[in-house]
Amino acid sequence: MARDALLRQRWKGLVEKLSAQFSDGDPLDVEGIIYLVGVQELGQLHRKFKKDEKVNLMHIAICRLLEPYGFYEFDYFDEEGWPHYRSSEKLPTLKPGEQSVLMKEALVSYFLEKEYIQ
């Protein structure tokens, strides 16, 4: 199967599985799935987050998702358990469609690594 077709198939399956588990079947978008990754990476699964914390969760997720691509590097956990990353390579300038493909690819890779999908 071609790489793009495989990515589309895995992305569709990931959205369906996460949507069934976390949003009563309403399809989650990329941002919603990124938020879930942030919560997972923080490890504080059963608490409510303030608006600024939700933005920080998205940042954590994006750093973690782009870490395997060499754009970020894990630095440390702070006293409250929040992970911190440092930029290790400048992100390339991407068109919106290219950004979307990169994030979907990174999300699929993350959930493959976590053995949530196959």
The string of pLDDT tens digits covering residues 24-79 is: 879 999 999 999 999 999 998 888 999 999 999 999 999 999 999 999 999 999 99
Neighbours of 58 (CB within 10 A): 15
Tokens of 103: 């994030």
Q: What is the pLDDT of residue 1?
A: 59
Backbone conformation region of residue 89, classed left if phi is above 0, alpha if psi is from -120 to 50, else beta: beta
Residue 114's closest CA among 55, 4, 37, 52? 37
The residue ranking higher by pLDDT, 97 or 58, is 58
